[in-house]
Amino acid sequence: MEAVCKNQITAAFASKLMDSSKRCLGAIFVASFYFSASLAFFPAHHEGESAHPVEHGPKLGLSPGFYRSTCPRADEIVVSVLKKAIAKEPRIAASLLRLLFHDCFVQGCDASVLLDDSKAVASEKNALPNKNSIRGFEVIDKIKAALEEACPHTVSCADTIALAARGSTVLSGGPYWELPLGRRDSKTAYMKLANKNLPPPNATLHRLVKFFGRQRLDKTDLVALSGSHTIGMARCVSFKQRLYNQHRDNKPDMTLEKRFYHKLASVCPRTGGDNNITPLDFASPPKFDNSYYKLIVEGRGLLNSDQVLWTGKDPEIAHLVKSYAENESLFFEHYVNSIIKMGNTNPLLGSDGEIRMNCRRVNHVR
């Protein structure tokens, strides 16, 4: 089964993204082996922060054509805003893709990550993995405002994040996927779970497997979704430990390729410079491709959580890294399967949650 359009996404294809009637139907996720185990949806409990089983799709109520009659231009509107935002700041594409991860890993894909602090809400934006790190909220605001103007009180903030993530991927040269839609928005945030469930950049391979396992994501999902780091930037504070004190011995990570180490050290001094930024993928920073994996094999993965995919002594994971480095089409195919799987994590459906008018606050707050 074809899970992804394997030809390189071109500018012409990206423009086709704006016409929903011409969408590629390559990712027929219902038949995918990732989803074949369960055709029933059991609603997630979002009232509190207690642990509950993570559910994946296909979900009753989630469908690529969910807004076909109520907001047929939704995707076109999203892409229109994205094109302007990415042209102004190419880095924003990766930031918006990252928002999807940081949303779905915390109590499911429900836009809880977008809520600001209030008397009733302790914002996930202030969780340690997110503070002064996640970004792109202003672009989401613009997209949501455009959607509200065209289709009032129709497209959820959770689906807005998902649409922005796909559009950002495609506009950066990555694969297109048929995106199940119909998620609703959480009425609260889960800062404690954000601190617990989001993997840090210095995570070991064992910890990464555990973090992804909590979301019912397997090793293939881990390696494929890590490929999102083929675009974007990272602050020095995220990897400085590798340069100067990897094992608390005032020595660098010996798995770093030497020339790469010196290049990083010139950007990130031992003292200061924590907010200096550098590309996650030095080979092709703005392009969504498989160079991320090629760099890892060469000892030039930026974050510890990148490089351990190759050096972590897990044959299955190392084989996947090598396979993706050699075969971009395979990476795209697995990436599409995995991001659909992740995007179907515990959605709020039906009458659960709400459709926020403003993604930064629940509807009853004025």
| Residues carrying an active site annotation | 102
Cα separation, 125 vs 136, whole angstroms? 12
Which two three-digit tokens encode residue 185? 């928005």
Which letter, b or e, does each residue of 271-302 get, where b requires 16 or more Cβ atoms within 10 Å of its Cβ?
eeeeeeebbbbeebbbebbbbbbbbbbebbbb
Best CA proximity match to 294, nearest among 312, 278, 282? 282
Q: What are phi and psi of 235, to 5 degrees?
A: -80, 150
Best CA proximity match to 192, nearest among 50, 97, 55? 50
Cα 329 to chain centroid distance, Å, stands at 19
